Chains A and B, each alone.
Chain A
Amino acid sequence: MAVTEVKQRSPRQLATKFGLIAGIASIYFPVVGITERFNDRTIVDGVLQLGNAIFFVIALAAGYIVAKPRPLPGEEPEPPGPNALLYGALASAIAGLMTGLFVLLADSVNLRPVLISVTGGLIERLSYGGSAASAVLIMIMGGAALGALGAGLQLISTKLRRPVVIALGTALLISLTEPLLNAILREVLSQMGLKNNTSWLYEGGGLSVTGAILVLILTFAGMSWWTTRGSGVKAAYKQRPEQQRKMIKGGALLLAGLFLVYLPQILTSFLAEILGTVGLYILLGLGLNIVVGYAGLLDLGYVAFLAVGGYSTALFVSERSSLGWALPYWQVVPLTIIIATVIGVMIGAPVLRLRGDYLAIVTLGFGEIARVIVLSDWAAPTLGGAQGILGITAPEVFGVDLRDPQNLYYAILACVAIVAFISWRLSRSRVGRAWNAMREDEQVAEAMGVSIIGYKLLAFGTGAALGSLSGMFFAIKLGSVFPSSFNILVSINVLALIILGGMGSIPGVIVGSFVLVGLPELLREFGEFRLLIFGTVLVSLMLLKPEGLIPSRRRQAELHIEEVEEELFEKRADSDGPEPAVT
Chain B
Amino acid sequence: MSESVQAPATNKQTGEPILKLVNVDSYYGPIRALEGVNIEVYAGEIVCLLGSNAAGKTTTLKTILGMVAPRAGQIYLRGKRIDGKKTTEIVAQKVTMVPENRRLFTRMSVRENLEIGAELRDDKEGIEKDIRRVLEIFPRLAERIGQKAGTLSGGEQQMLAMGRALMARPEVLLMDEPSMGLAPILVEQVFETIKEINSEGTTVFLVEQNAHMALEIADRAYVLQTGNVVLSDSAEKLLNDPKMQEAYLGEVT
Contact = CB atoms under 8 A, between A and B. Distances in A.
Interface string A563-583: 011001001100111111011
A450 B106 CA distance: 17
A557 B210 contact: no
A449 B107 contact: no
A437 B250 contact: no
Contact of A451 (B88, B117, B212): B88
Contacts of A572: 153-154, 181
Contacts of A437: 105, 108, 116
Interface string B17-60: 00000000000000000000000000000000000100000000
A405 B155 CA distance: 61
Contact of B92 (A449, A571, A576, A577): A449
B115 interface: yes
B65 interface: yes
Contacts of A561: 106-107, 148, 150-151
B105 A576 contact: no
A448 interface: yes
A448 B168 contact: yes
Nearest to A571: B153
Interface string A414-457: 00000000000000000001101100110111111111000000
Contacts of A558: 107
B116 A441 contact: no
Contacts of A576: 154, 181-183, 186
A440 B107 contact: yes
B119 A436 contact: no
B108 A440 contact: yes
Contact of B150 (A447, A565, A577): A565
B115 A433 contact: yes
Contacts of A565: 106, 150-151
A579 B179 contact: yes
Contact of B88 (A436, A449, A579): A449
B221 to A, nearest CB: 14
Contacts of A240: none
Given A433-B116, A568-B153, A579 B181 contact: yes
A575 B186 CA distance: 12
B78 interface: no
A105 to B, nearest CB: 54
A440 B106 CA distance: 8
Interface string B137-153: 00000000000101111
Contacts of A564: 150-151
A445 B116 contact: yes
Interface in B223-253: 248-250, 252
A554 interface: yes
A96 B105 CA distance: 53
Given A434-B116, A436-B108, A437-B105, A449 B168 contact: yes
Interface of A: 433-434, 436-437, 440-441, 443-451, 554, 557-558, 561, 564-565, 568, 571-572, 575-580, 582-583
Interface of B: 52, 65, 67, 87-88, 91-92, 96-97, 99, 103, 105-108, 112, 115-117, 119-120, 148, 150-154, 164, 168, 179-184, 186-187, 209-212, 248-250, 252
10 contacts: A447-B67, A447-B87, A448-B164, A449-B168, A450-B119, A565-B106, A579-B182, A580-B252, A582-B209, A582-B248
The 9 closest A-B pairs by CB, nearest first: A449-B120, A576-B183, A449-B91, A449-B119, A444-B103, A561-B150, A440-B105, A558-B107, A437-B116
